[in-house]
A and B are shown apart, each in its own frame.
Chain A
Amino acid sequence: GAGVSQTPSNKVTEKGKYVELRCDPISGHTALYWYRQSLGQGPEFLIYFQGTGAADDSGLPNDRFFAVRPEGSVSTLKIQRTERGDSAVYLCASSIRDRNFYGYTFGSGTRLTVV
């Protein structure tokens, strides 16, 4: 597709459950980022991939959060034992190379609600 695709667009889960959020970056984009945006706030950095490897995962809040990008394209953000505080919009962005600001494209996000 032409843009960054994130699925599902909305996810409601019960506290304690496991969830996976998917990001399909723009074809050919080697850099991929995950952000979390809480209501009324700006996006907060979670993790950055360059190719298949996580080049910077310092934004992951705790070990319940994990992300993979096994083939250097699609990425999955995984959250174990979800808590109500995990409720937020999870945004993915990709770029053709790191810090290419004008080529840095965000998806529409997955709105996660933990009840």
Chain B
Amino acid sequence: GQQLNQSPQSMFIQEGEDVSMNCTSSSIFNTWLWYKQDPGEGPVLLIALYKAGELTSNGRLTAQFGITRKDSFLNISASIPSDVGIYFCATNTGNQFYFGTGTSLTVIP
């Protein structure tokens, strides 16, 4: 399968801080997706990106599709306790979806 490398692996931040995480691959993709997974739940889609250079926001979340089409970035502004969870990047080839290894986010009140 495709290898999606996420960094950092984990983050511990203070409430109110901004967060940045990224996802890279050696392959070119036409779609980048960002999901959040809470414990005991399935992943939930946050943002979908469809073309190189695209910058899309969803509330306090902003994601960008890298111009090389091999990477993507997710930023969370003014973090709050409910942002805690594991964030996955994902992409697809046909009907197969590939997920990264995740970034675990802990927000300290």
Q: Does B44 contact A (CB under 8 A)?
A: yes
Closest-by-CB residue of B relative to A46 is B96
When the two chains form their complex, are residues A101 and B42 in contact, meaning their CB atoms are under 8 A apart?
Answer: no
Q: Does A104 contact B (CB under 8 A)?
A: yes
1/0 per residue, CB under 8 A from B, across A54-67: the answer is 01101100000000
What mask results when residues 70 to 111 of chain A are scored 1 for a CB within 8 Å of chain B, else 0?
Answer: 000000000000000000000101000011011011111100
Residues in B neighbouring A91, C-beta threshold 8 A: 42-43
Give chain A residues whose Cβ lies under 8 Å from the Cβ of B94. Answer: 56
Interface range, B side: 20 to 34
Residues in A with CB closer than 8 Å to B33 are: 101
Q: Are A42 and B42 in contact (CB under 8 A)?
A: no
**B42–A106 contact, CB under 8 A?**
yes
A interface residues (Cβ-Cβ under 8 A, vs B) = 4, 31, 33, 35, 40-45, 48, 55-56, 58-59, 91, 93, 98-99, 101-102, 104-109
Can you report 10 residue pairs joining A to B where beta carbons are below 8 Å apart? Answer: A42-B90, A42-B100, A42-B102, A43-B97, A56-B95, A58-B96, A101-B31, A107-B42, A108-B41, A109-B42
